[in-house]
A and B are shown apart, each in its own frame.
Chain A
Amino acid sequence: MTRGLLDVVRAGALTTVQDAGRPGHAHLGVPHSGALDQPASRLANRLVGNHFEAAVLETTLDGCSVRPRRTVLAAVTGAPCPVKVDGRPAPWGAWVRVPAGALLEVGPAVRGIRSYVAFAGGIDVEPELGSRATDRLSGLGPPALTAGDTLALGPPSALPPPLVEAVPHRAPPAHLVLRIAPGPRADWFTPAALRLLTAARYVVSAGDRVGLRLHGPVLARRTPAELPSEGVVLGAVQVPPDGQPLVFLADHPVTGGYPVIAIVDRRDLPDAAQAVAGVPVRFVQSSSWGQRY
């Protein structure tokens, strides 16, 4: 089989091409980007026999519909959702054969936000700085999908479909528990704020590919000083002057001028990326809390 084409019939609220992102360019102002729920995108790739870092589609809340022009294996993971092939129910979290010209419908998320759709061969758009990922902050990578777009698919691997048809894969949690380590500017906050961070309950107020905004008790600063712009890592919990924490996700700016109070354990970020507005959030201290250099 050779390359194929994929026609976008319904783009959904925000469907982007994502892969493992473009690390190693932060010093040039380039965000890491890539799939927000990496375990889900890797699983989708594995189910269709791709390299686990191949490019997939990342949907937002209401899925998308596409029509491949050649018969292709596809798999939908991440946020659980109804999947249909030409109107007939098909499994989620398992590989599905989509015949040439058939409509693959990825329905609205039942839990969580982002579903991942992998196709054997991967989405084959032109890479920029080594990645095909759409970066919503800096505009690198292909634009978000719109109805009528046509995407290229790469040649599928010669391997037979995986022996397993489906893999156990839990749905996004209804309550978010984020393990944190101390941030570089934890000492810019009052002792009460540091206690509040792990004692109080926060609620997701909004989120996008840049970060997750939380609402809850105000984290008060010890000093109102201005922070010169400094490098920021994935999972950093930044606190703007309003005292409401923001957890940085894959498209976060590489430098920031607000103090970082804590860093969320990378293993908890896929769940954070699936948290809808209203989900309660609790921060817990990871084992490294309290260690200072």
Chain B
Amino acid sequence: MTVERTPRLRVLPYGPNALLVECADHRQVQSLHAELLHRRTVGALPPVREIVPGERTVLLDGLDDPDTLAGQLSGWTLARTPDEVPGPALRIPVRYDGADLDHIARHWQVDAAEAARRHSAARWRVAFCGFVPGFAYLTGGSGLPALPRRATPRTRVPAGAVGLAGPYTGVYPRASPGGWQLIGTVVDIRLWDPHREPAALLAPGAQVYFEPVPG
């Protein structure tokens, strides 16, 4: 018999068709998100159009009866950590040649090779998406010091650039302006393609391993 941890989920009203569930931290967000996907798969969740994880919340939109689900949510038992929940695993080859690699290495007080090794050794997981379609915020580099964004964002970051900001790493799905510190470039893989199913390889819950490719 294990002692269940209090979920501490806070359900916030969001109009007649939605709920916003506030979690204690981003790990609980990932546990709740995995639980929601599981329940949807086995048919134990009322029809819902969107399940949108954020930094500290999960939005459920397109519900017929949010009040009833709100009442049930507080009784749910969630997996203790997101690592207990299996997600699809994806290997992404990366050439560690980013324009900010040296800056990142200095921030972490290591050399460039070691910065690349640390980034590729971490077990990353997609926490949520946003900014542009297919842009995923990955967490999991907990041992790595958080990096501030660039003081001046670049007006154009190429598609496939791997960046770091705060506790997150991410891959630019297409060329766009951006302020993340660039550590490398993905090789031979298109993370976002609206004409492919799935369009986004990095959907919330996906586990990601960055595999270093020699420059």
Contacts and interface: CB of A to CB of B under 8 A. Distances in A.
Interface of A, helix, strand, loop or mixed by DSSP = loop
A240 B41 CA distance: 37
A260 to B, nearest CB: 8
B13 to A, nearest CB: 6
Nearest to A141: B194
Contacts of B52: 26-27, 231, 254-255
B50 A230 contact: no
B61 A184 contact: no
Interface residues of B, number: 39
Contacts of A255: 52, 54, 128, 130
Interface in B57-77: 57-59, 61-62, 67, 70-71
Nearest to B195: A128
A183 interface: yes
Interface stretch (A71-79, A101-109, A208-216, A285-293): A285-293
Interface string A219-231: 0000000001111
A253 B130 contact: yes
B180 interface: no
Contact of B61 (A129, A182, A233): A233
Contact of A229 (B11, B55, B204): B55
Point out which of A140, A228, A233, A263 has the most chain B C-beta atoms below 10 A from its C-beta: A233
A128 B61 CA distance: 22
B104 to A, nearest CB: 23
Query: Contact residue range for chain A?
Result: 35 or more
Given A23-B62, A28-B199, A291-B13, A231 B50 contact: yes
Contact of B51 (A27, A30, A139): A27
Contacts of B49: 23-24
Contacts of A266: 17
A190 interface: no
Interface of A: 23-30, 128-129, 138-140, 181-185, 228-233, 235, 253-255, 260, 263, 265-266, 286, 288, 291-293
5 contacts: A28-B133, A29-B129, A185-B12, A229-B54, A230-B54
